Amino acid sequence: VYFGNRFKLKDATAIELGDGEDRPDIDINVPTTGLHTLQGFINSSPEGRTITKGTISLLDPDDKSVLREADVQQDGSFSFRFVASGSYIVQIAARADESNDQNAVKYLPLTVPLQVEGDMEDLAYTVSANKH
């Protein structure tokens, strides 16, 4: 949360402080209502295998900066808490199981838009195997 009760740096109000300066007239409020939970699973195509390693990121659609990032869990699930309503880009980087590198399946990155207006508990994303 940024000053001015904004969730994105580009929308924030700047505050200038000098060395050792104190501003008791400035309050930054962290809202606990109106924020959402995003939950879901990631699998692969065409085999439908559950993805158990990787990262999922929420990006700012304007400048593509990473706003939030989470690891994919062993059961293929992911979750984000306290997400503000708005537009995002979801970026998934699935990783192969490194236990057997010779037979490890590599996956293509996935990038898709997401509009958040409330809690979303059944998000499902499918990454494709890299054939090369």
Give dist(CA 10, CA 62) in Å, integer: 10
> Helix count (H) and strand count (E) of the chain?
0, 7
Average pLDDT value for residue range 100-117: 85
- Of residues 40 and 97, the one with the higher pLDDT is 40
Q: Is the pLDDT of residue 104 over 90?
A: no
Q: What is the pLDDT of residue 56?
A: 98
Q: Is the pLDDT of residue 101 over 70?
A: no
Average pLDDT value for residue range 115-125: 96
- Of residues 18 and 102, the one with the higher pLDDT is 18
State residue 122 phi and psi, 5-degree precision. -135, 40
Condensed to tens digits (0 to 9), the pLDDT of residues 76-91 reads 999 999 999 999 999 9
The helix, strand and coil proportions of the chain, stated in percent and rounded to the nearest 5, come to 5, 45, 45
Share of the chain above pLDDT 70, in %: 85
Give dist(CA 9, CA 74) in Å, integer: 33
Average pLDDT value for residue range 68-81: 95
22: its two tokens: 């104190």
Condensed to tens digits (0 to 9), the pLDDT of residues 40-52 reads 999 998 778 889 9
DSSP letter string over 15-34? ----TT---TT-------SS
pTM above 0.85, yes or no: no
Share of the chain above pLDDT 90, in %: 52
Q: Is the pLDDT of residue 130 over 70?
A: yes
Say if CB 41 and CB 77 are below 8 A apart.
yes
State residue 36 phi and psi, 5-degree precision. -120, 160
